Amino acid sequence: MMAMTQSGTPFAMRPIPTLLVLGASLSLTSAHGDHSHIPEGEAISAEPMGTTLWIHILIQSLAWGILLPLGMVFGLVRSRWHVPTQILATALAVVGYFLGHAHGGRQFGKNAHASFANWLMLLLIVQVVLGVYLRLHLERGFLGRIRKWQVKGHAILGGVIPVAAWVQMLLGGIASQGFCQADHLGQCLAHFIMGSAFIAYGIVLTILLLNGQAWLARTGRSQEFWDSLIIALWGCVNTFTEHRWGNPWAHNDLQHTSMGIIWWAAGLVGMWLSRDRSGRPRRNLIPAIVILLTGWAMSAHPQTLELSTHVHSVFGYTLMAAGLTRLIEISFVLRDKVVPKNADDIDEEINSFQFLPPFLLYASGFLFMGATEEQMQLLSDAGVTHVSYILILYSIAFLLFLFVNMLLHLYSYYTASPSKGKGPSKRHDEEHSMPNGHARAPAMTERQAQDAQEFELEGLITDDEDEDGGKKHSQTNGRAQ
């Protein structure tokens, strides 16, 4: 992640684009072009990124980062906007893919972003083919017997693609600067994987807060059981992967390995305390304490550059704040309450303080991903202060937090109880309306006219809607026979 070539010539990059590309890690670039322009021993050429490449970045960010997750939510709520949104996102993704092969300016050597792009496009193609196939309702014989598996496969791919797109975005940010090469690979992977894990944890907490309370109640477990389970598993991985066994111990190896040990040790305690002696689910503070201790350890992590020291310190303080606010939430805001009294109207019971721990995890993740050795060297050489950089990273965390909450609000609108006036519920859909929330027409002719106007993916609907008499009505082109 060095900001200069071996000859000492700095790359042509302005501070503001640097902050956006490195801090957000949201750029999608391609590693195709004339490799003869790349100096020997370097991962990228010295030219600045051209207009075509920036258009590629913006189009792919819109397609993979915004439209596809939005289309996934439309699919979950069976909205007629699902298909148009996915068609637009796919068209943009294809255009962006070819722009990544046709750009001038900065050129790139072999990297993971270029290789993973082909696999990601393959996933998208399979998803589109499955969606079109389900839309055709070919249900006779063998095709009808395997239809339910195709529906499940389509749903699973719909959830995998946003995660794979996130990985590709990070790989694009790394490739755009030629980072994570040679000796820098290990610490680079640690920062991006761990930072993504903090963000994922924040997203999961947001989902559970706004939409997952009913599911949590059905599991018969407290939220801390699942948190502690993941912490314990992650700790086991860290314990045995942070040090290259057989080589001398470095101070960073020892610190990271000891952190892994405390994670699995504390995780076991958290799982044990997640039930009382009668077997009922119970809250505990172990995951919050682990987050707090991890933040303290990271804030004291020794760094070479002053800029890196400041960024790591703020990252550690932010993570400590996430653990502390989580502790306060469980003990004093919720008073150890396992599930809300009225999960159907969770908004009445959510306290504004409960949004703070998830957001701080978002911010912690971006701060950690933006604190690799090469990024810090590049920003230090460009004269960027830690204050400016940290504020931009917090801004990006706010934007992602806003986007996730908007998606969850959209999901809630379509699945909320109709008595609350928010939108059609799933039960209401099944009994009184089409899957996109439109009322069923009383006559078959009216229903056929309505079906012709719908753009929803009806293939996501199971064929067992009418289970009152124990009979399954077969369908041809979406209409009962």
- By the 8 A CB rule, do 23 and 400 touch? no
CA angle 244, 245, 246 (to 5 degrees): 115
Per-residue pLDDT averaged across 246-275, rounded? 87
Percent with pLDDT over 70 in the chain: 77
Q: Are 198 and 319 in contact (CB under 8 A)?
A: yes
The C-alpha atoms of residue 385 and residue 394 are separated, in whole angstroms, by 15
Decide if pLDDT at 261 tops 80: yes
Average pLDDT value over all residues in the chain: 81
Beta bridge partners of 139: none
Nearest 5°: phi and psi at 273? -80, 0
pLDDT at 253: 75
The packing angle between helices 386-415 and 68-76, to 10°, is 20
Split at pLDDT 50, 70, 90, the class of 162 is very high
pLDDT score recorded for residue 459: 43
Instruction: Kindly report which listed range (13-22, 249-258, 285-294) carries the lowest average pLDDT score.
Output: 13-22
User: CA–CA separation, 91 vs 320, rounded Å?
Assistant: 43
What mean pLDDT comes out for the span 220-230? 94
Q: Read off the tokens for 209.
A: 């807060």
Paired residues of 49 in beta bridges: 105
Q: Which two tokens stand for residue 230?
A: 């993941």
> Which uninterrupted H or E stretch holds 476?
strand 475-476
pLDDT exceeds cutoff 90 at 94: yes
| Closest CA relative to residue 189, chosen from 179, 202, 203 | 179
Please report where in the chains the tokens 């809250």 appear, as a residue. 283
Least confident of 33-37, 104-108, 313-317: 33-37
If residue 304 lies in a helix (H) or strand (E), which one and from where to where? none
CA separation for the pair 215, 343 (Å, rounded): 10
In the prediction, which pLDDT does 387 show? Answer: 96
Q: How far is CA 97 from the centre of its chain?
A: 21
Contacts of 280 (CB under 8 A, 6+ apart): none
Q: Which segment of 119-123, 207-211, 237-241 scores lowest on mean pLDDT?
A: 237-241
What residue ranges do the domains of the chain occupy?
48-178, 183-413
When pLDDT is averaged across residues 286-308 and rounded to a whole number, the result is 91
**In this predicted structure, what is the pLDDT of residue 45?**
76
Q: What is the pLDDT of residue 137?
A: 82
Residue-wise pLDDT tens digits, 457-469 = 444 444 444 444 4
Q: Would you state the pLDDT for residue 418?
A: 52
How confident is the model over 38-46, as a mean pLDDT? 74
pLDDT digits 0-9 by tens, 338-376 = 888 776 778 888 999 999 999 999 999 999 999 999 999
Question: What's at 87, amino acid-wise?
Answer: I
Confidence of residue 66 (pLDDT cuts 50, 70, 90): very high
Assess whether pLDDT exceeds 90 at residue 20. no
Report the pLDDT averaged over residues 267-294.
96
The model's confidence at residue 400, banded by pLDDT at 50, 70 and 90, is very high
Dihedral pair phi/psi, residue 140, rounded to 5°: -90, 145
Query: What value, to the nearest 5°, has the Cα angle with vertex 443 and ends 440 and 444?
Result: 90
CA atoms of 290 and 258, how far apart (whole Å)? 13
What pLDDT, on a 0 to 100 scale, did the predictor assign at position 190? Answer: 86
DSSP alpha helix (H) spans, 78-146: 82-99, 112-136, 142-145
Query: Residue 36 has what pLDDT?
Result: 56
CA distance 225 to 271: 5
**Residue 204: is it exposed, middle or buried by C-beta count within 10 angstroms (0-12/13-18/19+)?**
middle
Q: Which of 6-10, 291-295, 326-330, 471-475 shows the lowest per-residue confidence on average (mean pLDDT)?
A: 6-10
pLDDT of residue 166: 97
- Name the band, by pLDDT with cuts 50, 70 and 90, for residue 198: very high
